Amino acid sequence: ELPFRTPKGHVVMNDQDPMAIWVDGGSASASEVLAGSLHDNCRAVVMGDVSFGKGLVQAVYGLKNGAGLVLTVAKYLTPSGTDIQGKGIVPDIKGDVPLSFLTLSSDTSKVDFQEVSEMLNMCKVPSPH
């Protein structure tokens, strides 16, 4: 199976298209930051299972004796201030992908995201804590 490729300059998605993002226990760190940001800004519906919960940023410092020191230097929070460390991103829609999301429109190059659109239309951007 060949990967999907778009022609150069072709816009795949604009800021008006509905979007869903999939997370599960294998989603960690940067993918959780992305999912949390898209969700908190009412840009995407999060689907799947609770993500891993890797919300700490660590740096490794070499010591003179050849050992290393791992030090936590920051913590990821979503734009609304939600701490994901040890908790993960909780999806809006849990479990397997609902069949309604996989229904193709009459143009078989597009997926019908009516349900995602409806959820995003009801979304309100939360205030930071």
Tokens coding 22? 């999939």
- The DSSP secondary-structure symbol of 2 reads P
Annotate 50-80 with b (16+ C-beta within 10 A) or e (fewer): ebbbbbeeeeeeeeeeeeeeeeeeeebbbbe
Is 29 assigned a catalytic role?
Answer: yes
- Ramachandran area for residue 29 (φ above 0: left; ψ -120 to 50: alpha; else beta): left
Annotation marks residue 87 as catalytic = no
For the chain, list the strands marked E by DSSP.
20-23, 45-48, 56-62, 68-75, 93-94
Q: Which of 27, 29, 31, 110 is catalytic?
A: 29
Please tell me which residue in 27, 31, 51, 54 is annotated as part of the active site: 54
Catalytic residues: 29, 54
